[in-house]
């Protein structure tokens, strides 16, 4: 397994729309293992393929405290959603930035796992937020883009400053 490079906002590649996975191959399963290792090492609770510059509809998630409940979502589709809640979110592609975003409170998602088996999952709370966040990545959207233009410009300035200081 290998750690993958995570793209950082505002990298344009984060805005590419991911294509559906046609066939799950050994390369797909290796990508999933590498994504999981990268997510755990970051550390994070979700990682979309888009964030590692692979533009296929795949994301991994594990919101457990012990990091022992890895979930794999391939070609996910939102089947239903209800309610609205506001939660603070962060993102491995926008390190150090945490902001409140409105999401659906409850969702039902259908996807395939790494074996190609279709499943349906009803989720609420933090898991629902995480799934919606990662599905946005597959559509080329980053959570900070839900914020006001003022907040977004401040975040971009903060990230550029950090980038200059790191050089």
pLDDT digits (tens, 9 = 90+) for 72-124: 999 999 999 999 999 999 999 999 999 999 999 999 999 999 999 999 999 99
Rounded to whole angstroms, the Cα distance separating 166 from 116 reads 42
83-102 burial by CB neighbour count: b if 16+ within 10 A, else e? Answer: eeeebebebbbbeebebebe
CA neighbor of 109 nearest in space, from 81, 149, 82: 81
Q: How many residues belong to the chain?
A: 167
Q: What is the pLDDT of residue 80?
A: 98
- Answer whether CATH 3.40.50.1220 is correct for domain 12-166: no
Catalytic residues: 134
Give the mean pLDDT of the chain: 96
Q: What is the pLDDT of residue 28?
A: 98
pLDDT above 80: residue 1: no
Rounded to whole angstroms, the Cα distance separating 70 from 34 reads 13
């Amino acid at each position: 397994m290998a750690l993958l490079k995570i793209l950082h906002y505002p990298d344009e590649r984060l805005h590419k729309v991911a294509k559906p996975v046609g066939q799950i191959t050994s390369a797909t399963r290796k990508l999933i293992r590498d994504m999981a290792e990268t997510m755990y090492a970051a550390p994070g609770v979700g990682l979309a393929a888009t964030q590692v510059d692979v533009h296929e509809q795949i994301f991994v998630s594990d919101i457990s405290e012990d990091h022992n409940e890895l979930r794999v979502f391939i070609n996910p589709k939102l089947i239903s959603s209800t309610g609205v809640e506001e939660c603070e979110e962060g993102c491995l592609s926008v390190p150090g930035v945490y902001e409140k975003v409105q999401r659906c409170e409850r969702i039902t998602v259908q996807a395939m796992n790494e074996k190609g088996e279709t499943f349906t999952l009803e989720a609420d709370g933090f898991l629902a937020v995480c799934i919606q966040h990662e599905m946005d990545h597959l559509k080329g959207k980053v959570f900070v883009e839900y914020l006001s233009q003022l907040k977004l410009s401040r975040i971009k300035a903060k990230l550029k400053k950090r980038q200059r200081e790191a050089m």
